[in-house]
Structure 1
Amino acid sequence: MNLYPIETGNFKLDGGAMFGVVPKSLWQRTNPADENNLIDIAARSLLIEEGDRLILIDAGLGNKQSEKFFGHYHRWGNYSLDDSLNKIGFHRDDVTDVFLTHLHFDHCGGCIQWNKNRTGYEPAFKNATYWSNSSHWDWAINPNAREKASFLAENLFPMEESGRLKFIDSISQNNFLKKSDLGFGIHFVDGHTEKQMLPQINYKGKTIVFVADLIPTVGHIPLPYVMGYDTRPLLTLTEKEKFLNTAVENNYFLFFEHDANNQICTLNKTEKGVRLNQTFTFHEIFN
């Protein structure tokens, strides 16, 4: 097995929305805001090469939306999914599976693209199977008013119409499925959105968890630091506490999707609870 971090592109979000009830005087210590109160956000995927499979975890925002749409998210930097794949010797057509932690546009927008004539949409990974779970899919295609702007029809229905969409069973013991058909474990969490899936991968003697939107950045490690976007923030608190304690006990390495400055971290337990221990780049740990 080989793992590769894939930078698909950076954007910005409102710092207050990203930290909910936590005062700016606290969250700006780890996530400094610009003059418009916006903080830097990454869209970092993870590529798993194992045998004849090439599995991409999440696919970023993509590029099919209008300039008006992207104007709300202030894209910055030079990263792109294609460039990141090319640098390690792959092309998007090599991807066999796209595993989606959830279906918010910043996680699945890159799955679908305009067709050649811009008359309709088609899969951006023409040889890949797309993986979600039935509970989250139903939640996404029948969205509540709070999440409606994050579940975009042009991201979802072309995926289904392609015939390449498959579901992973979300039934698990203690909200953890020990092994998926893709060869890694999955944590199911419901605070951010219904049945978000967090892959857990054993790699070179270490356990890596792709923490997606349960813990978007290192600044979100303390329990009360919960995004305003979460649909069930009190449930997020419970899920985070359980996960963080498990992570410390089992020496997990947390892989961040949205932290623009930190790819991976470890944790330790302090008098104030679980806190950040060390941060690393992927290559510092695994090369």
Structure 2
Amino acid sequence: MKIYPVETGNFKLDGGAMFGVVPKVIWQRTNPADNNNLIDIAARSLLIEDGDRLILVDTGMGNKQSDQFFGYYYRWGDFNIDSSLKKHGFHRDDITDVFLTHLHFDHVGGAIQWNKDRTGYEPAFKNAKFWTNEKHWKWATEPNPREKASFLTENLIPMQESGHLTFINHTDGEFLKNSPLGFDIRFVDGHTEKQMLPQFSYQGKTIAYMADLIPTAGHISLPYVMGYDTRPLMTMTEKKLFLNEAADNNYYLFFEHDAHNQLCTLKHTEKGVRLDQVYTFNELFN
């Protein structure tokens, strides 16, 4: 049983949108902006090798969108999912399960690709099941006006048409039944309806995959909530519960969107839960 970070590609987003009502003079201390007010963002997936299953948590944006589309996100660096998988000795055809925290394009776009003659779409992981939950699927395929631009039809409907789409029961979060990983799912609704955050034990440590509940280390402070969240006050409540639990139990937070910090621990302070130690994956796991 092993886990690996999978870097699918970096991009940039508006710092103000990423930090909501928090003033730039404060958030730029941890997430410095360029001259266009853009901050560095990662799309860091997690690969879990568990017996005969090879599970990929989220897929990044993929590469099927237009140059105009990608022009909004200022991609940078040379990461891509294929080279990252190859680095760990795997190919996308080896993936048995794609676990999708939610269906926004920067988390699910890489799950679907153009077919060979670019006349339609097909699964990018031909041997994998795609895991979401029914409430979030309905939310994504019947989108509200605020999130409509984040739920792209070409990312979703081909997944359903492939016959590989599978729903997780949102009441119990069962996914890896009888796995020694102890894989649990935390459902949160502040960012979007029924986002799923994996949490499991590995080498004596509890790993919590943060997705968009806490996208970067700069978002740990309770009021630091993205402008993209549909229910920001709910996000704050969900964060408070998680942060206290994580600090009490020494969880290791795995960041999907922090381009410069892979994992961290937390501590209680007089001002609330704050960052304790930052780690690279290689520092923690050999």
Which TM-score tier does this pair reach, normalised by the shorter chain? over 0.9
Deviation, structure 1 residue 249:
1.0
Q: Report whether the alignment pairs 1:181 with 2:184.
A: no
**TM-score w.r.t. structure 2 length?**
0.98
Q: Report whether the alignment pairs 1:10 with 2:15.
A: no
Aligned residue in 2 for 1:88: 88
Aligned CA RMSD, in angstroms, stands at 0.7
- Distance in 2 (CA, whole Å) between partners of 1:142 and 1:35 is 37
Tell me the alpha carbon deviations over residues 76-116 of structure 1, each in whole angstroms, 9 at most, x when there is no partner: 00000000000111000000000000000000000000000
- Distance in 2 (CA, whole Å) between partners of 1:11 and 1:129 is 27
Deviation, structure 1 residue 27:
0.3
- Distance in 2 (CA, whole Å) between partners of 1:20 and 1:164 is 36
Aligned AA for 1:186? I
**How many aligned positions are there?**
282
Aligned AA for 1:266? T
Aligned AA for 1:36? N
- Distance in 2 (CA, whole Å) between partners of 1:271 and 1:209 is 24
Identity of aligned residues (%): 73
Aligned residue in 1 for 2:111: 111
Aligned residue in 1 for 2:218: 219
Aligned residue in 2 for 1:49: 49
Aligned AA for 2:195? Q
Aligned residue in 2 for 1:142: 142
Q: Report whether the alignment pairs 1:280 with 2:282.
A: no
Deviation, structure 1 residue 26:
0.4
Deviation, structure 1 residue 136:
0.2
Q: Superposition pairs for residues 158-173 of structure 1, below 5 Å?
A: 158-172=158-172
Aligned residue in 2 for 1:36: 36
Deviation, structure 1 residue 180:
2.5
Q: Report whether the alignment pairs 1:195 with 2:190.
A: no
Tell me the alpha carbon deviations over residues 128-158 of structure 1, each in whole angstroms, 9 at most, x when there is no partner: 0000000000000000000000000000000
SS at match of 2:234: helix
Deviation, structure 1 residue 201:
1.3
SS at match of 1:132: strand
SS at match of 1:245: helix
Deviation, structure 1 residue 229:
0.1
Q: Gaps (5+ residues) in structure 1?
A: none
Aligned residue in 2 for 1:19: 19
- Distance in 2 (CA, whole Å) between partners of 1:199 and 1:250 is 16
Aligned residue in 1 for 2:207: 208
Deviation, structure 1 residue 250:
1.1
Tell me the alpha carbon deviations over residues 262-283 of structure 1, each in whole angstroms, 9 at most, x when there is no partner: 0000000000000000100011
- Distance in 2 (CA, whole Å) between partners of 1:20 and 1:235 is 14
SS at match of 1:146: coil
- Distance in 1 (CA, whole Å) between partners of 2:216 and 2:210 is 9
Deviation, structure 1 residue 181:
3.4
Aligned AA for 2:8? T
**TM-score w.r.t. structure 1 length?**
0.97
SS at match of 2:284: helix
Deviation, structure 1 residue 171:
1.1
- Distance in 1 (CA, whole Å) between partners of 2:81 and 2:138 is 28
